[in-house]
Amino acid sequence: MKIGILSRNPKLYSTRRLTEASKERGHEVEVIDYARTHMNIAAHNPKIFIGDKDLAGFDAVIPRIGASYTFFGTAVVRQFEMMGVYSVNESVAISRSRDKLRSLQLLARKGVGLPVTGFARDPKATKDLIKVAGGAPLVVKLLEGTQGVGVVLAETNKAAESVIEAFRGLDANILVQEFIKEAGGADIRCLVIGDKVVAAMKRQGKEGEFRSNLHRGGNATVVKITPEERATAVRAARVMGLGVAGVDLLRSNHGPVIMEVNSSPGLEGIETATKKNVAGSIIEYIEKTAAEGKTKTRGKG
């Protein structure tokens, strides 16, 4: 097969590993800097180029779209879909997963476990919002935040009100969530491929930190997950429509609850912690599922 990896940087760990794994399994592979492409949006014979190079002949693409390139990146994936190229994660699913609120609503609709979560706009609704999430302690989070930035623990209702008002003053959209204290500052990252969790790691925040993000000094270790956690992670990826996903969940006393479903999960942390060849499993999955014209949406979304 000819596989395209849509990535801005061939030197990134995940991009390198996917390139290696493709070659190891006998495929032709090319890293495509999707931000430099241009495309013709035509009914007949749609094409995509970098400069005057026609990016034709790919059987499959692996999108690794950066958070700040979602709009353009998903347009590129859609263009490949229009050309009948199989994408391991489809453009609609990527767009969906990049919108935290939309994702939570979708997961809730399908009965996937979530922390009790409230959302509102009107400042007059602040007290009701706090009530919806069950009162303090509460987690207030910026919808646009990543890597734990803009995730605040409010220990009292008064503190929650102040934080909500402060974020509102900045015109930011926020979620208010039940605080899962029993998670003990740890979360579980499940790497889902198709209908399987191929690797799982536990990320523990540093001493005194309730956020487990590795960027905030957390550390990762291999973990054995329960059948319920496994089923929840697979279900979450399926609801989002993602072939490959990093599903983050917390261990709550009402079962596993989903934090986030990531459409371009990093491979370095999980391959290092679990010593598994996740990149190889992704390529193997593509071999099994890619067939010309098999993309479900063909760029419709």
- A 10 A CB-CB count for 271 gives 20
CA 298, 245, 215 angle in degrees (round to 5)?
A: 130
The residue among 95, 80, 89 whose CA lies nearest residue 34 is 80
Q: Is 68 in the site for ligand ADP (CB under 6 A)?
A: no
Interacting residue with ligand ADP among 212, 232, 277, 295 (CB under 6 A): 212
Q: Which stretch binds ligand ADP (CB under 6 A): 30-38, 48-56, 158-166, 174-182?
A: 174-182
The residues that bridge with 5 in the sheet, in sequence order, are 31, 62
Name which of 50 and 143 has its Cβ closer to ligand ADP: 143
Tell me how far the alpha carbon of residue 77 is from its chain's centroid. Answer: 16
Residue 34 makes contact with ligand ADP by CB under 6 A: no
Distances (CA, A) of 101 to 22, 43, 110, 243, 281: 35, 33, 14, 21, 30
Tell me which H or E stretch contains 187. strand 186-193
The residues facing 62 across adjacent strands are 5
| 134 lies in the site for ligand ADP, by CB under 6 A | no
Rule CB under 6 A: choose which of 259, 270, 279, 282 binds ligand ADP: 259
Q: Which stretch binds ligand ADP (CB under 6 A): 61-69, 123-131, 178-186, 265-273?
A: 178-186
- For the beta carbon of residue 50, count every other beta carbon within 10 angstroms: 14
> Closest separation between CB of residue 179 and ligand ADP, Å?
5
Of residues 4 and 115, the one with the C-beta less far from ligand ADP:
115
Distances in Å between the Cα of 159 and the Cα atoms of 127, 164, 166, 226 are 12, 9, 11, 36
Kindly tell me which residue out of 74, 177, 263, 264 binds ligand ADP, with binding defined by CB under 6 A. Answer: 177
- Binding status of residue 167 toward ligand ADP by CB under 6 A: no
Q: Which lies closer to ligand ADP via its Cβ, residue 76 or residue 250?
A: 250
Q: Is 251 in the site for ligand ADP (CB under 6 A)?
A: no
Give the span between the Cα atoms of 88 and 266, in whole angstroms: 15
| Segment interacting with ligand ADP, rule: CB under 6 A, options 17-25, 53-61, 208-216, 271-279 | 208-216
Nearer to ligand ADP, 29 or 197 (CB): 197
Could you tell me how many residues of this chain bind ligand ADP (CB under 6 A)? 22
Choose, by CB under 6 A, the member of 210, 229, 234, 237 that binds ligand ADP. 210
Query: CB-based contacts of 77: which residues, under 8 Å, 6+ apart?
Result: 6, 61, 63, 65, 87, 89, 90, 91, 94
- Are 117 and 178 a contacting pair, CB within 8 Å? yes
Minimum CB separation of residue 18 from ligand ADP in Å reads 23
**CA Rg, the chain, in Å?**
20
What residues make contact with ligand ADP under the rule CB under 6 A? 115, 139, 141, 145-148, 151, 177-180, 183, 187, 210-213, 248, 250, 259-260
